[in-house]
Structure 1
Amino acid sequence: MSVIQHERIQVNGIELSVHIAGPEQGQPIWLLHGFPECWHSWREQIPALAAAGYRVFVPEMRGYGESSAPAGIADYDLLTLCADIQQAMNHFGHQPVVMVGHDWGAVVAWHLALLEPARVSRLITMSVPFAGRARRPVIEIMRELYADRFNYILYFQEPGVAERELDADIERTLRLFMQDQDVFLQKKPANATLLEGVSAPGTLPPWCAQADLDVYVKTFSKHGFRGPLNWYRNFERNWQRTECLAGQQVLQPTLFLIGDSDPVGVFEAHTLKRMPDTVPNLQQQVLANCGHWIQNEQAQRVNALMLAFLART
């Protein structure tokens, strides 16, 4: 792996931990991780992008690892998360940048593209598609659809509940997430817990060595799952605060990647169909035999698609 520098910067009322690699004069490219991940989720992309001449910036997002983890739920709304990265770009004097995001990092990346149309020149998102601001908060729709059956996002809503379960054995929790993505698609009663009935974890998948898992465990051992879960507790606030973005299109050249076995594809099937209307300059790739942890499960394929897209645009 390329030599990685580590900086802690003061932005938006918090300390943001940022890992940096690549030539100092290279074009900035930001890699935003999702849940339950960390900066190390981009371990296969950092050296490839640095070798291609990019200056790579990989933050530990608010609530994760060495970055601050404020106590309030409202401290994790979407525009606040975006402001962390906007102010970090200001700190480093960035213009223009390539923005890359996976999972929740993709949600932040999509909205940064809307908020920063001049500064975000190109966009690469993975797993979570975008079709604009919904007509009402998504959490309202989910409560109607899952009134009598389990849904992990609804389970995450009550403060203190999910974190007690997930924090009880952080390594076991992360092993289960890495090994069995169907944890998020279980069919069980609405009052169940996320890991209820899930078998004990076995061998790690080939893309996640024990040394890699150790980095994830260290990340979540710092603050636990409370901060990351608070991202999920702002759907209504996010909807309210993004009214100014209603109807806007993402106009930047965009590459979207998703695995054909990604559970998010099930949840977001309708959004995937509508996405070209909201993102007119869009290239999409579905990776075969690939689940949710796309940049790790098929790292070489993802790297090749990213570099080819960046070379063309």
Structure 2
Amino acid sequence: MFNPTDFPKPTLISVNGVKLEVFEAGQQNVGKPIVLCHGWPEHAFSWRHQMPALVAAGYHVIVPNQRGYGNSSSPTEVTEYDIEHLSGDLVALLDHYGYENATFVGHDWGAMVVWWLTLLHPSRVNKLINLSVPYQERWEKPWIELMEVMFGGDFYFVHFNRQPGVADAIFEENTFQFLRNMFRKNHFIAEPEPGMMMINLARAEKPLGEPIMSDSELAVFVSAFKASGFTGSVNWYRNLDRNWHLLADVDPIIQQPALMIYGDRDAVAKSKNLADFVPNVEVVNLDCGHWIQQEMPEETNQIILKWLEKQDAN
């Protein structure tokens, strides 16, 4: 397990009208940037196992808490969490460090941001690595609209949009319990329960499966969300249909070399047609759940480093 005191101390950096809390390592490797983008409900700390390995491989590692997370700004307007703003933060971060482009790595929501950042600002991404969440095809109807038809109003993506504030308040009342119950592995939910899955998770007194981290590691996430609340981070979901409109006129094909890492036990579905949209993609599967880089840190590091080495040799 990782000692939280070994994690780099953050700097607050002003970019794109907000302040981002940024954790940095390998400043001696200036000129070879890699930016790691966390998911929900996570934190830059979710990359703690990858940072030292990437520094050792010669990278300048930049890990922001994105807007709505940790000590980064949490604007009150919902629309300030759309993909224009989220990708704009990352582009401005590159500008801050004086980088034309960088390698981007994303997990969960961070992966969605990295896919879309690459579509909106292709010149700023030289290669990309995404974990868990594959490229999302732009369907004929906006995503939330379609999810509501397919999965119903209790599906958490839909619930977050149609009942704003309800889930956020429950997560805040049960911050420790929600995150403790969330960061688990080796459990399978056989039948979908009635109600909204994430709210059920926040209210469940007994966690399922096994923890993926120590109590002191979990405490980092808990204290961050106790300070920030959950609304900023949940607002990312509330922009899915807005993002669908913002991406309407963008070329949907990603040409950069890409690595996609799936967890075979992840509830997130794998893409059946990933190569149609990301022709230069390599796909790797690991025997783990959703929290890939925290569940199997060594294996994740090896896969990432090997792939990066191969790209550099080309």
TM over 0.5: yes
Q: Does 1:284 align with 2:288?
A: no
Distance 1:200 1:3, change over 3 A: closer
How many residue pairs end up in the alignment?
Answer: 305
1:8 aligns with 2:27: no
| Cα distance in 1, alignment partners of residues 68 and 202 from structure 2 | 28
Query: Aligned residue for 1:133?
Result: 138
For 1:216, the equivalent position in structure 2 comes to 221
Q: How does 1:58-207 map to 2 (within 5 A)?
A: 58-147=63-152, 150-157=154-161, 158-179=163-184, 187-189=192-194, 194-195=199-200, 199-202=204-207, 205=210, 207=212
CA deviation string 1:237-296 (max 9, x = no partner): 111111121x4211111000010010112xxx4xx01111000000001112x0000001
Residues 136-160 of structure 1: per-residue CA shift (max 9 Å, x gap): 211111111123x731212222211
Partner of 1:226: 231
Shift of 1:182: 7.0
After superposition, the Cα gap between the structure-2 partners of 1:285 and 1:189, relative to the gap in structure 1 and judged at 3 Å, is same
**Which runs of 5 or more structure 1 residues have no equivalent in the other structure?**
none
Structure 1 residue 296 corresponds to structure 2 residue 294: yes
Question: Offset at 1:25?
Answer: 2.1
What residue identity is the alignment partner of 1:304? Q
- 1:48 maps to a residue whose letter is A
Q: What CA distance in whole angstroms lies between the structure 1 residues aligned with 2:168 and 2:190?
A: 19
1:107–1:182 distance in 2 versus 1, CA, 3 Å = farther
Q: 1:184/1:206 Cα in 2 relative to 1: closer, same or farther (>3 Å)?
A: closer
Question: Which region of structure 1 is more displaced relative to structure 2, 194-203 or 171-180?
Answer: 194-203
Q: Structure 2 length as normaliser, TM-score?
A: 0.90
| 1:257 maps onto 2:261 in alignment | yes
Paired amino acid for 2:308: L
| Alpha-carbon separation, structure 1, partners of 2:45 and 2:297 | 13
1:105-125 superposed Cα distances (whole Å, 9 cap, x missing partner): 001111122223222111000
CA 1:127/1:255 → structure 2, altered by over 3 Å: closer, same or farther?
A: same
Instruction: Tell me how large the CA RMSD over aligned residues is.
Output: 2.3
Matched letter for residue 139 of structure 2: A
TM-score normalised by structure 1 residue count: 0.90
Asked if residue 49 in structure 1 is aligned to residue 48 in structure 2, the reply is: no
Residue identity in the other structure for 1:12: N
Q: Deviations over 1:188-233 (max 9, x none)?
A: 3457872179642359845301111011011101121111111111
Letter paired with 1:172: Q
